Structure 1
Amino acid sequence: MFGLLFRQYRQLPCAASQARQFSTTNALNISRKPESKIRIPSKKALAAKARRKAALAVKEEAKLLKLPLTEAIAVLRAAEVASPNSIYELFVKTELGNGTAVPRGRVNLPREAKPRAEDKILVFAEGRRAEEARKAGAHIVGGPELIEGILNNRHRATTILCIPSLIRTITPKLGRFLGPLGLMPSERRGTVTEDVAGYIQRLHGTSEWRADRAGNIRAPIATMQFPVEDVVTNVHHFMASVKRATGNSKEADAADRKLKSSGGTRAVIPIKKVILSSRQGPGIRISDY
């Protein structure tokens, strides 16, 4: 009986023969990420793309309507016929690069659109230079003792000048405070000078303009009551000042002459567009500025 059962068991199919056949896989192949197929463009390709983009921008710019200055004035006068006291506003868009200083300057318009605000001048000077500054009309004159008054807003000024011998004394404490306000004395702008009295005399009869951080400049330029010739003259005077400050003028200013004498050059800030507008009228791009 036992022998019969043993022979039947031997005739059964082997369990191992019915077992599933497993294959082994290298663990390194599972964890390895597929290689990236993203194509990185070369410098030459990027430059070509930039040129195509610039060419497209030029074409789009050419499609925009632009008018000569005299025609733009006529359109705005028609729009403001019921508001003779309305003011023309000039908008200038400049393109600031990385590390480019915000453009600013002073202009003496032949005919002011608004009463000129009086400048309050503070001068860091000592000795004979301080006396000259007081005689020239400076409102606040002193040495390093003025620093605390500026920091706590006891001394407020629209223009701050400094003689060269004091600039290193005031810069550590006032640089970060006055810099963002555009009031820190600077050799590039001519506000660090030995000729303090001469600078103050040049301030009389002029008004300051300054771009914002985006490079936009806005200024009231005339009123609707002005003859067309006066409006045109004011626009040309203002744009001449902007071109000098941004390096777009053939006429070199004092800062340019100083840089050239030291072998340096000033970066040119491109002027992208000039728009003349009024309170109720449209903004009109000017073609001949």
Structure 2
Amino acid sequence: KKVEPFASTVLLPHRFTEETNKVLVFTENEQEAEIARENGAAVVGGVELIKWILEDEIQADFYVAVPAIISKLIPLRNKLRRKYPSTKRNSLGHDIPKMVQHFREGLEYSVQDESVIKTRIARV
């Protein structure tokens, strides 16, 4: 049976790399912003980040957001494509510490055409 292509992120119990992903958090609430910074988010901000992202001045591996700001992020939908925050990818929600940890330390994998899984499996 053929599987439709998709991508996701998984937290491994034992990481094989010291690198962490760069996570950008969209929020306009100062308390949520402080929580994101404490949990290791590389960039935290609100709608002021939209212009910089569209001009490629800021880039991140993953983008997460709180539901209160998602309607203001629509101009980024075409630019970010599959990295655009969504509940389906668990990058849109209220639990900022969990989202930041998941995407900061997670390993991204993708299932492509012909049901082939593409990811790193070890460090040589």
TM band (smaller chain): 0.7 to 0.9
| 1:141–1:104 CA distance, 2 compared to 1 (3 A) | same
Partner of 2:7: 103
| 1:143–1:111 CA distance, 2 compared to 1 (3 A) | closer
Partner of 1:119: 21
Cα deviation, residue 200, structure 1: 1.5
Partner of 2:90: 190
Distance in 1 between the 2:85 and 2:104 partners?
Answer: 18
| Amino acid in the other structure paired with 1:151 | L
Distance in 2 between the 1:211 and 1:168 partners?
Answer: 29
Distance in 1 between the 2:15 and 2:79 partners?
Answer: 35
Cα deviation, residue 177, structure 1: 1.2
Pairs within 5 Å for 1:6-85: none
Instruction: Tell me if the contact between 2:36 and 2:97 (Cα under 8 Å) persists in the aligned partners.
Output: yes
Instruction: Tell me if the contact between 1:160 and 1:185 (Cα under 8 Å) persists in the aligned partners.
Output: yes
Instruction: Tell me if the contact between 1:103 and 1:211 (Cα under 8 Å) persists in the aligned partners.
Output: yes
Partner of 2:120: 220
Higher percent of residues as strand: 2
Alignment pair present for 1:139 and 2:39: no
| 1:135–1:223 CA distance, 2 compared to 1 (3 A) | closer
Work out the percentage of aligned pairs sharing the same amino acid: 28
| Runs of 4+ residues over 6 Å off in structure 1 | none
For structure 2, which runs of at least 5 residues remain unmatched after alignment? none
TM-score by length of 2: 0.82
SS, match of residue 211 in structure 1: strand
SS, match of residue 153 in structure 1: coil
SS, match of residue 129 in structure 1: helix
Instruction: Tell me if the contact between 2:62 and 2:103 (Cα under 8 Å) persists in the aligned partners.
Output: no
Partner of 1:274: none
Cα deviation, residue 194, structure 1: 1.0
Cα deviation, residue 204, structure 1: 4.8
Partner of 1:165: 68
What's the RMSD between the two structures over aligned residues? 2.4
| 1:178–1:111 CA distance, 2 compared to 1 (3 A) | closer
SS, match of residue 6 in structure 2: coil
Distance in 2 between the 1:124 and 1:154 partners?
Answer: 16
Cα deviation, residue 123, structure 1: 0.6
For structure 1, which runs of at least 5 residues remain unmatched after alignment? 1-53, 55-93, 225-289
| Amino acid in the other structure paired with 2:6 | V
Indicate the structure (1 or 2) with the bigger Cα radius of gyration: 1
| 1:190–1:155 CA distance, 2 compared to 1 (3 A) | same
Cα deviation, residue 169, structure 1: 0.8
Distance in 2 between the 1:121 and 1:141 partners?
Answer: 9
Distance in 1 between the 2:51 and 2:93 partners?
Answer: 22
TM-score by length of 1: 0.38
| 1:157–1:194 CA distance, 2 compared to 1 (3 A) | same
Distance in 2 between the 1:195 and 1:110 partners?
Answer: 23
Distance in 1 between the 2:86 and 2:15 partners?
Answer: 30
> Which string of whole-angstrom CA distances, capped at 9 and with x for unpartnered residues, describes residues 114-169 of structure 1?
x3532111010122111111111111111111001111111100010111010011
